[in-house]
Amino acid sequence: MTPDLAVLADRLAMPLRYVADVFGFQRRVTREVRVGGVGIGGANPVRVQSMTTTDTLDTAATVAQSLRLARVGCEVVRITAPTIEDARNLGRIRDALRAAGCHVPLVADIHFSPAAALEAARHVEKVRINPGNFADSKRFAVREYSDTEYEAELGRIANRFSPLVETCKSGNVAMRIGTNHGSLSDRIMNRFGDTPLGMVESALEFAGICRSLGYHDIVFSMKASNPKVMVQAYRLLAARLDDRGWDYPFHLGVTEAGNGEDGRIKSAIGIGALLDDGIGDTIRVSLTEDPEAEVPVAFGLARRFESRPMFEGEPDLVDRRSPYAYTRHRTHAVAIGDARIGGGAAPAVILDLEGHLSTVPDALGRMTAMAATDPESSPRPDVIVVEVACDADLAALGELQAAIVATSARLGLPAIGIIARLAAGADVGAASRLADAVMVASGEIDDAVTRAALVGAARPVVIETVASYSGTDATAAERARRAHEVLSRAGVRDVIIAVRASDEGAMVRVARALRGTLAEPAPPTWLIHDRDDAPDDVLLGASVALGAPLCDGFGDAVTPGGARTLGDGARTRLAFNVLQGAGARITKTEYVACPSCGRTLFDLQETTTRIQARTSHLKGVKIAIMGCIVNGPGEMADADFGYVGGAPERVNLYVGRECVEKGVPQSEADERLVDLIRRHGRWVEPLALLPV
């Protein structure tokens, strides 16, 4: 039985406080751990690392890839060492790198083999061990443990782990205690369940052994393929360490994030949310691509937080989130045309055209094309926003509304809702007759004439509040709360609160402030990321600004930045991809794909691309593509189907955690996977293959 987190927290006398101030910003204070010439934690910047994908026994290939990583700025390079022979070859790799003038520190990645770890510690600057499989077999038994049996297991682990600790201590070798959500031991699963708490307890058991031997060069990680689980686990670990007075640094990463835009978004949501909390000292972005592609993405994330000043929040604010378990903020439902915002509905995507409607280039053609888009084949916003200030804007709004309604009706699609953002002096009554909702700045509600016009319009009202990082999260939330209260007293019931922020930290903090300010069920909230950076930076910024609150259960509609740097389709797709990455709205096939390493038993990039080409039309189906057994079954816990390397040129196929076909020849595996999906009733033919 999975224990209740609150009960366990009580039993452990644990103050659930993971940062000093959830409305401010202060980087978590840690000790420095030296990894060769690189310091992690302390006063050091957030360090960026990656991992080779070559066969560790192929010295030349591994050295060449490590040199390429160093050339693009990678500060720490990790190499898998599944056997003693692989571990021994790390010495040859290190010597070749040093001879080439490259002094990047090396980390040995260990699973299942204490002997390989001992050998590796003689050749590298850091060893990564996984508490879930360092002293346990590849097949985890399901059984009950008495307290006596549990303690006996801890004694067995100490006996197997202590020699490595002593070796690292005597050789000044650092260690990462890296828990993976997908590979918790049967002992932990039985006692704590497949939970963030189980991940934390697993790491603390091993850290306790290190401390008992006087060894403190430890870095922790709590990796998961689900950003929500990953964020909760790191926060809980920070709280537990703070409770004990331990100050070890953290390595952040979302494991098996996948490739392309999806992999970058999922990584940015999890890593960025924690960096914004002030948590994290070294990061790796795990992409199913060449490892050199990971490094600039990681630096792009780290840079967003390196110059952030320490900021203390407002003392009177209340944080009503549960930072260690997902709870969605309860809100009323408000209809905007055919779209439902709040009330438990999946978050909506809202596209803001920006600029006075009559002057927006080809607004009618662009939005008519959007209205004609089949949502089964391409992203389509639920609502659009247009700015109305004058008669020309009203005329354009009338044309736009008529075109969208006619196009949607002709194709049998839901009509895209329209929000009219009212500029100063706009005719509220005329705009409300043409649009599905009107939008005003929170300060405009104080104007009696405007307020009377909003009441008379009998349309939903969007209250816009603008947040900046320089301490205004409290006042932004208070402005929105007060405006909502005034409108409620005046008789307006359908209200949405829109939070506009160019800084992701401001968005996160005003979201927390609003959740603490508004009584549930509250008005729905719409998160607007108002930033126009280069496309790659818009992607990272929107992922953090929108994804972090979504992972905390806050947000009923989203709008990404990039109004002037991305097209309508790209912005809409980015919004849907952020929602999918945060697990808030699933609109396409979901993939869990590991980034590859020397353990991988097939070409992971090629295989992932091939499987995506066959299955990307399966909306709502989750497929895991894993190179080996290390994290496979565990990280596939919530996947529908799995494709896992079992042996050279052999693949094991899974349904959930159950292996249903073992040793399938790789030449047949793709087709057998499709057949498996078909037999379980989840297959549909791609649109191009359907009869006309």
**Three state DSSP letters for 276-315:** HCCCCCEECCCCCCCHHHHHHHHHHHHHHHHCCCCECCCC
In this predicted structure, what is the pLDDT of residue 595? 64
- The mean of the pLDDT values for the chain is 88
User: Of 58-62, 284-288, 307-311, which range is least confident?
Assistant: 307-311
pLDDT at 416 > cutoff 90 = yes
pLDDT at 628 > cutoff 70 = no
Look at the domain 5-306 and name its fold: TIM Barrel (3.20.20)
- Can you tell me the mean pLDDT for 262-289? 94
Q: What is the pTM of this model?
A: 0.91
The residues near 67 (Cβ < 8 Å, ≥ 6 apart) are 97, 100, 102
Quick one: what percent of the chain has pLDDT higher than 70? 91
In this predicted structure, what is the pLDDT of residue 645? 82
pLDDT per position as a tens digit, 322-380 = 899 899 999 999 999 999 999 999 999 999 998 889 999 999 999 999 899 888 778 89
pLDDT per position as a tens digit, 207-236 = 999 999 999 999 999 998 899 999 999 999
- On whether the CB atoms of residues 264 and 297 are closer than 8 A, the answer is yes
CA distance 41 to 282: 8
Highest mean pLDDT among 247-251, 356-360, 374-378, 449-453: 247-251
- Can you tell me the mean pLDDT for 419-448? 91
Cα angle 80-84-88, degrees, rounded to a multiple of 5:
80
Nearest to 471 by CA among 314, 273, 673, 669: 314
What does the domain layout of the chain look like in residue ranges? 5-306, 350-581, 590-689
Cα angle 551-552-554, degrees, rounded to a multiple of 5:
100
Greater model confidence, 287 or 312: 287
User: Of 267-281, 347-361, 613-627, which range is least confident?
Assistant: 613-627
* C-alpha to C-alpha distances, 270 to 126, 255, 327, 539, 672, nearest whole angstrom: 24, 10, 17, 14, 33
- Can you tell me the mean pLDDT for 517-532? 93
- The second-level CATH assignment, the architecture, of 590-689 is 2-Layer Sandwich (3.30)
- Can you tell me the mean pLDDT for 157-184? 93
In this predicted structure, what is the pLDDT of residue 647? 78
- On whether the CB atoms of residues 242 and 274 are closer than 8 A, the answer is no
In this predicted structure, what is the pLDDT of residue 600? 63
The residues near 187 (Cβ < 8 Å, ≥ 6 apart) are 136, 145, 150, 153
Number of neighbouring beta carbons within 10 Å of residue 347: 27
- On whether the CB atoms of residues 508 and 520 are closer than 8 A, the answer is no
- The second-level CATH assignment, the architecture, of 350-581 is Alpha-Beta Barrel (3.20)
Please give the helix or strand (H or E) that residue 461 lies within, else none: strand 461-467
Quick one: what percent of the chain has pLDDT higher than 90? 59
Half-sphere exposure of 150 (CA within 13 A, CB side): 15
The residues near 308 (Cβ < 8 Å, ≥ 6 apart) are 25, 469, 505
Domain 350-581 in the same topology as domain 5-306: yes
Nearest to 167 by CA among 221, 134, 213, 104: 213
- Can you tell me the mean pLDDT for 415-442? 92
